């Protein structure tokens, strides 16, 4: 994931977003690598990472 974020940054992207189910263990990984929760509902988080 870090390599993908670096590639996006090198191509001029300033931020990237994703949605992930709250029950998905990857949600914690996204938080650890710099994503922040900007919205949530009962089932999922919407996250953004500023590159």
- Strand ranges inside the chain, DSSP E: 15-21, 36-40, 44-50
Give CA–CA dist 27/10, Å, rounded: 24
Domain that holds residue 10: 2-50
Percent of the chain with pLDDT over 70: 100
User: Which single residue is written with the structure tokens 């953004």?
Assistant: 48
Mean pLDDT score across all residues of the chain:
97
Please give the tally of structural domains in the chain.
1
pLDDT for residue 49: 98
Q: Which of 40, 44, 1, 50 is nearest to 20 (CA)?
A: 44
pLDDT for residue 29: 96
Tokens at residue 50, please?
Answer: 């500023």
């Amino acid at each position: 994931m870090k390599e993908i974020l670096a590639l996006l940054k090198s191509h001029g992207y300033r931020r990237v977003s994703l949605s992930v189910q709250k029950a998905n263990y990857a949600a914690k990984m996204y938080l650890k690598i710099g994503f922040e929760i900007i919205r949530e509902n009962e089932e999922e988080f919407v996250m953004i990472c500023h590159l």
